């Protein structure tokens, strides 16, 4: 048959169920936090052993640009022929 339980006894039952639920929630929270901490630690270890990617160094080489070299002109090319002298074409310059 049904037994009579006092309200104080029923309150104790509710407290026990509340504590069981709280313990379950705390356990889930602790497990999630442990997984996060372990994964962070493994990522930290991986970054320590992973070779760093080297940045390619750009080497700029200057190519020499040829500068005009002054040529020495022959004296006959720089002076005008004397008056009355003939040029190579045979015409007389006056």
Tens-digit pLDDT profile for residues 41-63: 999 998 877 666 666 777 777 88
The residue among 81 and 60 whose pLDDT is bigger is 60
Q: What DSSP letter does each residue of 7-75 carry, written as one string?
A: HHHHHHHHHHHHHHHHHHHHHHHHHHHHHHHHHHHHHHHHHHHSPPPPPPPPPP-PPPPPPPPPPPPPH
- Is 70 exceeded by the pLDDT of residue 37? yes
Q: What's the whole-number average pLDDT of the chain?
A: 74
Q: State in Å, rounded, how far the first CA of the chain is from the last one.
A: 152
- Banded model confidence at residue 4, pLDDT cuts 50, 70, 90: low
Return the domain boundaries, the chain: 1-50
């Amino acid at each position: 048959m049904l037994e009579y339980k006092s309200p104080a006894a029923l309150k104790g039952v509710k407290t026990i169920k509340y504590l069981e639920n709280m313990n379950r929630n705390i356990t889930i929270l602790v497990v999630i936090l442990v997984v996060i901490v372990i994964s962070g630690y493994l990522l930290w270890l991986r970054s320590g052993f992973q070779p760093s990617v080297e940045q390619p160094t750009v080497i700029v080489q200057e190519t020499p640009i040829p500068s005009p070299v002054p040529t020495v002109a022959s004296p006959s090319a720089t002076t005008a022929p004397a008056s009355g002298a003939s040029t190579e074409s045979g015409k007389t310059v006056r």
